[in-house]
Structure 1
């Protein structure tokens, strides 16, 4: 089983908190890092826009990516939220096991030794 780091930009801390907590409650993420403010420049409807956003880095399983996208798209205010998954090709075994076990059935929990 493979794990992913998923990057999501949010317009504000309230949205970032809501998405992070929902992903954790649904066991779609083992951990969500709220990285904080970043400056984003992008094309939108024919113009170049500049916004301050809040970045999230989600630790999850590859097979949960579609469910992560569905939840984020439901809660995110952007018409087209950026949700990008990057495979983790090198990871220590204990961390990988923790991510896999924490993204299991709600109520299950891995306790590292």
Structure 2
């Protein structure tokens, strides 16, 4: 295992698999992340404009570096269909050395 403090897992939801795939492809193409997993079948309950909402969504699990995090967040704000897209970054404590090396290389300019 290797120290993973330079890496982040970002959670984001999208309203459909098509939108999730469009976002994922854009993030990877722009080298803002190494990988995005799409997890369909998420059901979200939240308050929006004073009412409780119940929606089907897709969860994007995005692997990136701390260095790319702000640019990733800015890009999501530009291309996402939601007024307030979810962008939650979770710090990575440790990971396999080979995976973290691949992640860093995949995000490098």
Same-fold status (TM-score > 0.5)? yes
Deviation at 1:68, TM superposition (A): 0.7
* Runs of 4 or more above 2 Å deviation: none
Which secondary structure state, in structure 2, belongs to the residue aligned with residue 35 of structure 1?
strand
The C-alpha deviation readout for 1:66-103, integer Å capped at 9, x for no partner, is 11111111111111011101011021111111101100
Look up the match of 1:108. Answer: none
Q: TM-score, normalised by structure 2?
A: 0.92
Tell me the C-alpha RMSD between the 2 structures. 1.0
The C-alpha deviation readout for 1:7-41, integer Å capped at 9, x for no partner, is 10000111101110001101111111011120000
Look up the match of 2:20. Answer: 16
Q: Can you give the 5+ residue segments of structure 2 that lack an aligned partner in the other structure? A: none
Look up the match of 1:51. Answer: 55
Q: Higher strand proportion, which one?
A: 2
1:83 is aligned to 2:87? yes
Q: TM-score, normalised by structure 1?
A: 0.89
Q: Can you give the 5+ residue segments of structure 1 that lack an aligned partner in the other structure? A: 106-113
